Amino acid sequence: MQKIPVLQDPTPPLATDGKFHVRLTEGRFQNLRRLTTWPLIALYFGLVWIQVDGQPFLFFSFEQRSIILFGSALSWHDLPLLAGLMIVGATLLFFIAVAWGRVWCGFACPQSIWTWLFIRIEQLTEGRVNERARHDHQPLSGTRKLRRLLKHLLWILLAFLTAATFTGYFVPVREMMADGFNLEMSEAMLGWLTIMTALTYVNAGLVREKICLHACPYSRFQSVMFDENTLTVSYDAKRGEPRANQRNADEDSGDCIDCGICVQVCPTGIDIRNGLQAACIDCAACIDACDNVMDKINRPRGLIRFASERQLEGLTSKFLRLNLFGYSTVALCAITAVIYGFTDTKSLLVEIRRDRSALFTQLDADTVCNNYRVKVERFARDQELIKVSLSESPKFTLYGPDTINLSDNNSSWLPYRVCISNPDKQNTKLEFVFTGNGVSTSKETSFLSKLI
């Protein structure tokens, strides 16, 4: 598979003074962007409020050292499930990168989405791109000062809502809101919210594309993943060059009229006509902008389009490739395993530890006891009452709670004592049995009755 060159350090043409204004455009890809962006924003702000049977839908609890995912509590026992979810995410991202370049960045990455929201607020308060650029070089009038103030206030408000929602995935959101309304919020919480608000404000309002250009590792390794069949936003130089504005165009001129609109709409300030660049986030704004220009000058759309290197050479592109097959196979296996893990309501997670402070306790001349600590956790919420017993060991007697109520005792250790009269061996095996709702799990441990 032939790898294609990606420019790593392009010079953004509009970023000569370190600042440029992005022109918002309209078109089919921007509509598609709305279709992906708004549901993701709604999910982010909405999920934190959703509860399943009294449990949050998604919650990261430092206190209980567990994650609640889809209403089910995961603890360290469930690390394979989390690993499975990460494998699903990573392989899907690789698949998308190989098939369609950085569309994740352009259409779903939080950095792009929040930058896009902040630019919308900027346009709403300070006007369109030309107006904003013009006023950058003029003294600010009273009205403009007010408009700029309003912009920053709205930015801070959005940054605060983002920070509070993010915090709500780690701290019970209703209690946090109640504390806020009653002015009883702790200093630590206030400090955290202030830092998160400031980070969001700086990130999406001021730094913006510089994160994509200089901090995001994805833009760097995408160049390794692209191949000649990867569909990515590309300028058709064969069709567009030699570029000439409409006044100077002749029959040898290409379709590009050098209007520069594709550069003005680019959120990272690059010129896609220079070739594939690491700074391009595949947002397709330049496609929509150029299509609008082509419509106006009665030329076919698609001078800038999603195309592979082979398609730009006039060859056909292959979608089904070995690496895509590999990624999709791994993703499917991981998805199947994760679904099985989440729907397996039969499993109980049991841990038994023998008390090591005393190897055994001699109650009287004939009776020896061992002490244990038992912890039972469950994945499914319907196994609330679990019976505890010993398997087929009539000589052993179990002391301790014979029923564990998981809704009360989930994640806590319970003390048990097992005794035997006239033991015939110094070290023997012992099996604890846990039953509830037709589910039975057993766990073996050892029983010591004499010093070795």
Residues that bind ligand SF4 (CB under 6 A): 106, 233, 240, 256-262, 265-268, 270, 272-273, 280-286, 289-290, 293, 303-304
**String of DSSP letters for 321-342:** -HHHHHHHHHHHHHHHHHHHHH
In the complex, least distance from residue 209 CB atom to ligand SF4, rounded to whole angstroms: 8
Which residue number, 6 or 406, has a Cβ lying nearer to ligand SF4?
6
**In the structure, how many helices (H) and strands (E) does the chain have?**
16, 16
Which residue number, 196 or 290, has a Cβ lying nearer to ligand SF4?
290
Q: How many whole angstroms separate alpha carbon 345 and alpha carbon 379? A: 7
Widest pairwise Cα distance in the chain: 112
Tokens standing for residue 223: 């160049």
What burial letters (b/e) apply to 72-101, b meaning 16+ CB within 10 Å?
bbbbeebeebeebbebbeebbebbbbbbbb
Which residue number, 267 or 341, has a Cβ lying nearer to ligand SF4?
267
Which residue number, 212 or 374, has a Cβ lying nearer to ligand SF4?
212
In the complex, least distance from residue 268 CB atom to ligand SF4, rounded to whole angstroms: 5
In the complex, least distance from residue 11 CB atom to ligand SF4, rounded to whole angstroms: 14
Where do runs of H (alpha helix) occur along 48-186? 79-100, 103-107, 110-126, 129-136, 142-168, 173-181
Q: How far is CA 435 from CA 17, 395, 411, 415, in A?
A: 70, 21, 17, 18
Tokens standing for residue 163: 């920070």
Which residue number, 272 or 374, has a Cβ lying nearer to ligand SF4?
272
In the complex, least distance from residue 210 CB atom to ligand SF4, rounded to whole angstroms: 14
In the complex, least distance from residue 24 CB atom to ligand SF4, rounded to whole angstroms: 11
382 DSSP 8-state letter: T
In the complex, least distance from residue 272 CB atom to ligand SF4, rounded to whole angstroms: 4
Tokens standing for residue 281: 């986030």
In the complex, least distance from residue 104 CB atom to ligand SF4, rounded to whole angstroms: 13
Q: Are strands 367-378 and 348-354 parallel, antiparallel or unpaired?
A: antiparallel
In the complex, least distance from residue 234 CB atom to ligand SF4, rounded to whole angstroms: 9
Which of 223, 218, 225, 313 minimizes the C-alpha distance to 277? 223
Tokens standing for residue 278: 């690491």
Q: Residue 1 in contact with residue 323, Cβ under 8 Å?
A: yes
Which residue number, 41 or 259, has a Cβ lying nearer to ligand SF4?
259
Which residue number, 40 or 259, has a Cβ lying nearer to ligand SF4?
259
Which residue number, 273 or 378, has a Cβ lying nearer to ligand SF4?
273
Which residue number, 290 or 350, has a Cβ lying nearer to ligand SF4?
290
Q: Residue 165 in contact with residue 44, Cβ under 8 Å?
A: yes
Which residue number, 88 or 303, has a Cβ lying nearer to ligand SF4?
303
In the complex, least distance from residue 74 CB atom to ligand SF4, rounded to whole angstroms: 37
- Element at 290 (helix H, strand E): helix 285-296
In the complex, least distance from residue 386 CB atom to ligand SF4, rounded to whole angstroms: 56
> What's the chain's length in residues?
452
